[in-house]
Amino acid sequence: MELQIDDSVLVKDYIKGNEKALEVLINRHNQRISSFIYSKVLDKDITQDIFQDTFIKVINTLKRGKYSEEGKFLPWVMRISHNLVIDHFRRNKRMPKFEGTDDFNIFSVIGDQKLNVEKQMIKDQIDSDLNVMIEELPEDQKEVLVMRIYKDMSFKEISENTGVSINTALGRMRYALINLRKIIDKNNIVLTN
Amino acid sequence: MEKIYSENQSKCKLTKANSETIAFLMSYSKSLQIVECNNMQFESNLN
């Protein structure tokens, strides 16, 4: 059976300058302290951080000679890590951080409305294709379509501006759309994003 | 907020700090020097 050196002996050795003693102590209690922290914070990275901070405190206290040996090295280290866990939660309370869980992700509710680069390029392409096709339309139909769609005018305004009746303007708009569809069908153009 | 007791009760898991963390702690320990002078302690960290 391997003889295990007592924690208190290792602490004394470390205070005297034996760095190896600290390594033994850390490795000996690594799992217990890490698991203790993990059971509280439930995050691996935060566990690593708190574990590290705990031992930085331990090292500082031991090197300053402020540690009083009462045969309770592990409970003392656990207490330090416990306090650091509390500090961690206090800090997070002040700056709450929202993280989506597996069941619910905030980004499935709020999306980025802007198009991505690919979709923006497709949209630009469609817009320019459409402009070319509109140029193919007869002048009177083109005029009504541009006023209605691009200038967002009402048919009443269109009729006033072009000097034709509302019904004529409506008819021209109808034919403009029919003709556009014909051009699209004829040339097998796909206009979807 | 309501507390849900029905699932995920036990989140205890055995974990270990990884070797890099331990290596960091060891080198931190080696680099740290405490100098005492007139009842005051000074920390010096030699990287």
Segment A21-40, tens digit of pLDDT:
999 999 999 999 999 999 88
| Touching B: A residues 63-92, CB under 8 Å | 63-65
Helices (H), chain A: 7-16, 19-41, 44-63, 73-94, 117-136, 139-145, 155-162, 166-187
B11 lies within 8 A of chain A by CB:
yes
Burial letters for B5-34: b for 16+ Cβ neighbours within 10 Å, e otherwise? eeeeeeeeeebbbeeebbebbbebbeebee
The per-residue pLDDT for B9 is 53
Residue A140: name the closest of A186, A106, A171, A103 by CA: A171
Burial class (CB in 10 A: 0-12, 13-18, 19+), A7: buried
Q: C-alpha distances in angstroms, A63 versus A10, A52, A68, B28?
A: 13, 16, 12, 12
pLDDT at A173 over 90: yes
**The two three-digit tokens of residue A70, written as one number:** 């009462």
DSSP H/E element including B33: strand B32-37
Q: What are phi and psi of B3, to 5 degrees?
A: -100, 130
**The two three-digit tokens of residue B16, written as one number:** 């270990």
Decide: helix, strand or coil at residue A151: coil
ipTM (interface pTM): 0.70
A131 lies within 8 A of chain B by CB:
no
| Contacts A41 to B, Cβ<8 Å | none
pTM of the model: 0.54
| Contacts A34 to B, Cβ<8 Å | 15-17
The fraction of chain A above a pLDDT of 90, given in percent, is 38
Amino acid letter for position B47: N
The span from the CA of A179 to the CA of A158, in Å, is 20
Contact assessment for residue A166 and residue A138, using Cβ atoms and an 8 Å cutoff: no
Q: pLDDT tens for residues A2-26? A: 578 888 889 988 888 888 999 999 9
